[in-house]
Amino acid sequence: MKNIQFSATSAVSHQDLLSLMPQVRAAQQTLVQGSGEGNDYIGWLTLPDDIQCQIQDIQATAALLRERCEIIVCIGIGGSYLGAKAVNEALLPFFGAYHQQQPAIIYAGQNISEDYLYELQQLLTHHSFGIICISKSGTTTEPALAFRLLKSQLEQQIGESAARERIVCITDAQRGALRTLATQQGYKTFVIEDNVGGRFSVLSPVGLLPIACAGLDIQALVDGAREMKNLCYNQNVEEHPAAQYAAARTILYRSGKTVELLANFHPKMHYISEWWKQLFGESEGKGHHGIFPASVDFTTDLHSMGQYIQDGERILMETVLSIEQPNHSVIFPHDEQNLDGLNFLSGKRVDEVNKMAELGTMLAHVDGGVPNMKITLPQLNEFYLGELIYMMEYACGLSGYMLGINPFNQPGVEAYKRNMFALLNKPGYEAESAAIQARLKK
Ligand code: PA5
């Protein structure tokens, strides 16, 4: 069977890759032996095996929600939302709303936009809906706000007792406001283990329940992740794609390429990039170090960002997520008049044009001083996304340790929260409120 492949194309030489391997090996030892900083957050390493005993429960819960709801609202932010959104967007049909796909999966708690919440509430007024509320801490402002609004709306629409049958909470086993509420109300719950951080939680119930609710095959997703785990654990570092990728991007970073663009040629991959940006950005951006993760959707963005990539500051490296076989076939038709001059493409698959755009872009970017790496998925399905997810997580752990930072904490994300609470006069923030008001008056 095929697996995901990594190739450094012309970005780095084979010799450079080999030279870095002792460092990759050391980072791998630190990671799998749990001897590095952040070692209390490496539960994700064995999730593909550990989660197996919960798959049935997750599937059964999803089946109940699917039966009862026209719309399932997944409430969460950051690591408690992006993994599920990424997999669902990648695998569900485009234009789902027009196919009246049931149930529709909608997201909330990932912003504080009043208009977003208003329009969502309006929509839900006309539908039977359920809620999955996901928050590891159980105290994050954005999801807590959305949950309070939607829980109360659901209770008004169908009554408190029926609402209890349509609310599922995924949170800490013991701590946090969400756990307390779920226990009080008797909601169905799943646990986010202490040793799994938000951005590494997609293969836990955090990601798997919303993905199962979308009707996707979570067993295949986990099987793919387990396959990649086995490669990472059993192959030499020179051979497994996670280590190869971590090595190549580290070499490029050390040579001055401080921004990594994750590029796709399939719009369904957009949110995979969003998930990847959080994974690497929150893991590596520390102590004024780290590759800045950015993303582009091609060929769309070649018509907007293409100029900069080709010819702007030479700080970019690029990783192309390539899909070998599309899931459908469309043949380009012949036209008698040929006014658009495209008859040279007649009879070809649209993907052949896309693939040549991909190759042409990669060559042009290399010529322009943007080294390319390529990750090839044989097909876009649950299994290969499972492989990709695990590969990226593992590469992220290796890259972080090679960078000399703790890849599993995120101290920087507290700064905005402190200011926001101070500005909103949250009880307990009196000193911060006074200080920030004085600062604003200056
Ligand atoms: O990766 C992380 O830790 C963060 O992105 C969190 O997942 C995010 O802030 C949401 O936190 P919580 O699940 O506690 O609501």
Q: Is 282 a catalytic residue?
A: yes
The owner of tokens 């949110």 is 271
Tell me the domains of the chain and their CATH numbers: 5-38+221-403 (3.40.50.10490), 43-220 (3.40.50.10490)
Distance 325 CA to ligand 1 centre (A): 34
Pocket perturbation via mutation, ligand 1, pick of 40, 74, 80, 137 by most ligand atoms within 8 A of CB: 80
* Mean pLDDT of the 367-376 span: 96
- Looking at every residue in the chain, the average pLDDT score rounds to 95
pLDDT at residue 196 above 90?
yes
Determine the atom of ligand 1 nearest the C-alpha atom of 197.
3
pLDDT for residue 9: 74
Determine the atom of ligand 1 nearest the C-alpha atom of 410.
3
pLDDT class of 137 with cuts at 50, 70, 90: confident
pLDDT for residue 368: 96
pLDDT class of 62 with cuts at 50, 70, 90: very high
Measured between alpha carbons, how far is 216 from 381 in angstroms, rounded to an integer?
9
pLDDT in tens, 375-406: 999 999 999 999 999 999 999 999 999 999 99
pLDDT for residue 217: 98
* Mean pLDDT of the 229-257 span: 95
* Mean pLDDT of the 255-272 span: 97
Which residues contact residue 428 at a Cβ distance below 8 angstroms, ignoring those fewer than 6 apart? none
Do 142 and 110 form a contact (C-beta atoms < 8 A)?
yes
Burial label for 355, CB within 10 Å (0-12, 13-18, 19+), is: middle
CA distances, 261 to each of 2, 22, 208, 273 (Å): 26, 26, 27, 9
pLDDT at residue 318 above 90?
yes
Q: DSSP strand E in 44-177: where?
A: 71-75, 104-108, 129-135, 167-171
77 lines ligand 1 (CB under 6 A): yes
pLDDT for residue 38: 95
pLDDT at residue 181 above 90?
yes
pLDDT for residue 83: 98
* Mean pLDDT of the 369-379 span: 97
pLDDT for residue 1: 75
Radius of gyration, alpha carbons of the chain: 23
pLDDT class of 149 with cuts at 50, 70, 90: very high
pLDDT at residue 96 above 80?
no
pLDDT at residue 88 above 80?
yes
pLDDT class of 102 with cuts at 50, 70, 90: confident
pLDDT class of 266 with cuts at 50, 70, 90: very high
Measured between alpha carbons, how far is 97 from 94 in angstroms, rounded to an integer?
8
Nearest CA to ligand 1 atom 5: 78
pLDDT in tens, 426-438: 888 988 899 899 8
Q: Which of 99, 127, 289, 417 is catalytic?
A: 417
Beta bridge partners of 324: none
* Mean pLDDT of the 294-317 span: 96
Do 179 and 158 form a contact (C-beta atoms < 8 A)?
no
pLDDT at residue 95 above 80?
yes
The owner of tokens 């349509």 is 166
pLDDT class of 442 with cuts at 50, 70, 90: confident
pLDDT at residue 414 above 90?
no
pLDDT for residue 262: 98
Pocket perturbation via mutation, ligand 1, pick of 140, 178, 194 by most ligand atoms within 8 A of CB: 140
pLDDT at residue 11 above 90?
no
